[in-house]
Amino acid sequence: MSEHYLVKSFIERNSSVPKHSAHKPSSLAVNTDRAFVACLREHRALSRAAIATQTGISKPTVSESAQRLLARELITECAVKDTQTSKRPAVLYEVNKDRGISIAIVLEENRSQLCATDLQGNIRLLESKAFPKGRSVAQFSDDLVEFIHSTIEQTGLSLLAIGLSIADPVHPRTGRVVPMPHSPFPTAQHIDFIELLTSKFQCSLTIDNDVNWATLHEQQTTGLNNFLYVFMGRGIGCGLYFDQTLIRGHNGMAGEIGYLTLHNGQNLLESVYTEAFYELAKNQPEQVHQSDLADIVKALRSVCEITAPQTIVLGGELSQNECFNQTLITTAQAFLPNTSIKTSYSPEAASLHGTAHAAHALALISLGLLDELSASSLLGFYNMIQVKDAV
AA identity, residue 328: L
On whether the pTM is more than 0.85, the answer is: yes
| 205 close to 232: Cβ distance less than 8 angstroms | no
Please name the fold of domain 101-213+350-383. Nucleotidyltransferase; domain 5 (3.30.420)
Closest of 188, 218, 194 to residue 206, by C-alpha = 194
> Which of the following CATH numbers is that of domain 221-343: 3.40.50.300, 3.40.30.10, 3.60.21.10, 3.30.420.40?
3.30.420.40
* Alpha carbon distance 385, 391 (integer Å): 13
Helix, strand and coil in the chain, % to nearest 5: 45, 20, 35
The CATH 1.10.10.10 domain(s) of the chain lie at 23-95
The CATH 3.30.420.40 domain(s) of the chain lie at 101-213+350-383, 221-343
Torsional class of 156: left (φ above 0), alpha (ψ -120 to 50), beta (otherwise): left
CA dihedral 193, 197, 200, 201 (to 10 degrees): -170
Closest of 375, 390, 360 to residue 161, by C-alpha = 360
> What residues have CB less than 8 Å from 112, skipping those under 6 apart?
105, 106, 128, 129, 131, 143, 144, 147
CATH class name, domain 23-95: mainly alpha
- pLDDT (tens, 9 = 90+) of the chain, 391 residues, equals 333 332 233 223 333 333 333 445 679 999 999 999 999 999 999 999 999 999 999 999 999 999 999 999 999 999 888 767 666 789 999 999 999 999 999 999 999 999 999 999 999 999 999 999 899 999 999 999 999 999 999 999 999 999 999 999 999 999 999 998 888 899 999 999 999 999 999 999 999 999 999 999 999 999 999 999 999 998 999 999 999 999 999 999 999 999 999 888 899 999 999 999 999 999 999 999 999 999 999 999 999 999 999 999 999 999 999 999 999 999 999 999 989 999 998 877 899 999 999 999 999 999 999 999 888 888 889 998 888 776 5
* Alpha carbon distance 247, 208 (integer Å): 12
